[in-house]
Structure 1
Amino acid sequence: MQQVKKGDTVKVHYHGKLNDGSTFDSSEGREPLEFEVGAGMVISGFDNGVLGMTKGEKKTVNIPVDEAYGPKREDLIMEFPIDRFPPDLKPEAGMVLSMSNGEGQQLPVVVTEVREDAVVLDANPPLAGKDLIFDIELVEIAGGSSLIITP
């Protein structure tokens, strides 16, 4: 039976949970996730978790922080003067905003605290600093990548 190897394109159903059992993402009710194994399209722990699986196989993969979204970075938490917000925007803790990085890229940030003179924004990925658990079902191995290398 064919086993998943690096370079294969696969389709999987998944259920992502945190250590407390709460769900953060799932493919339930959607098309399976399709990606090329080893191409950096998913976090490394998920990539490594499907290696060696066969069609129809189900397994649970525990992914430590370093193979997921990495540790929470303090340099991505910043204070932003409240007077720089548009007057009609009233920031509240938990609110997700979009911020430009100066190169035209939009980055999601979460308001973590609102002070009298400043708002604390966190640009870390929401799952940074967390170990993740994925229940994975391999639906299909669609074959290797279409990249052909010739000498």
Structure 2
Amino acid sequence: MQQVKKGDTVKVHYHGRLEDGTTFDSSQGREPLEFEVGSGMVIAGFDEGVTGMQVGEKKTIHIPASEAYGPVQQEMIMEFPKNRFPADLTPEVGMQLNMSNGQGQNFPVVIVEVRDDVVVLDANHPLAGKDLIFDLELVEISGGSPLIIMP
């Protein structure tokens, strides 16, 4: 049986959860995730997790934060003056917003604290600092070279 290797394009059904069992993403009810192994399209731990799998195989992988979205970076948590928010917006903890860096690039932030005069925003990826668990099922391997080459 062909095994997944770097450079293969694969289709994988997955269920992603945190260590407390909370689901953060799943392909259930959707098409499987398709990506090229080793191309940087998915987090490093996911690439490594599918490598060596065969079509139809199922397994659970544990990805430490360092191989997922990295640690929480304190410099990505910032205070923003409350009076700079639009007048019709009432900031609330958990609210997701998009900010601009002044050079035309937008990035998502989450409000983590609201004080009298400032709002504390977190621009870290929502899964930064978290270990991830994925239940995987390899659906298809395409691309790459066959193991046996016919003359």
- For Structure 1 versus Structure 2, the TM-score category normalised by the shorter chain is over 0.9
| CA deviation string 1:95-118 (max 9, x = no partner) | 000001222121110000111100
- Deviation track 1:42-78 (CA, whole Å, cap 9, x = no partner) reads 0000000000000000000000010000000000000
CA distance in 1, matches of 2:103, 2:140: 39
Q: Give the structure 2 partner of residue 103 of structure 1.
A: 103
Q: Match for residue 84 of structure 2? A: 84
Structure 1 residues 22-60: Cα deviation after superposition (integer angstroms, max 9, x where no partner): 111000000000000000000000000000000000000
User: So what's the TM-score if we normalise by structure 1?
Assistant: 0.94
For residue 139 of structure 1, what is the aligned residue in structure 2?
Answer: 139
Alignment partners' CA distance in 2, 1:102 and 1:15: 37
State the 1:81 CA deviation.
0.3
Identity over aligned pairs, percent: 75
Aligned length in residues: 145
Alignment of 1:34 with 2:24, yes or no, is no
User: What residue number does 2:61 align with?
Assistant: 61
Q: Which amino acid aligns with 1:103?
A: Q
For structure 2, the residue ranges without an aligned partner over 5 or more in a row are: 146-151
Aligned equivalent of 2:148? none
Instruction: Give the equivalent residue in structure 2 for 1:19.
Output: 19
Which residue in 2 is equivalent to 1:148?
Answer: none
Structure 1 runs of 4+ with >4 Å offset: none
Give me the whole-angstrom Cα distance separating, in 1, the residues matched to 2:9 and 2:74. Answer: 36
Q: How many angstroms does 1:143 deviate by?
A: 1.4
**Corresponding position of 1:5:** 5
Q: Where does 1:33-52 land on structure 2 (aligned, <5 Å)?
A: 33-52=33-52
Unaligned runs of 5+ in 1: 146-151
Q: Which amino acid aligns with 1:143?
A: G
Matched to 1:33, the amino acid is L
Aligned-pair CA distance for 1:144: 2.8
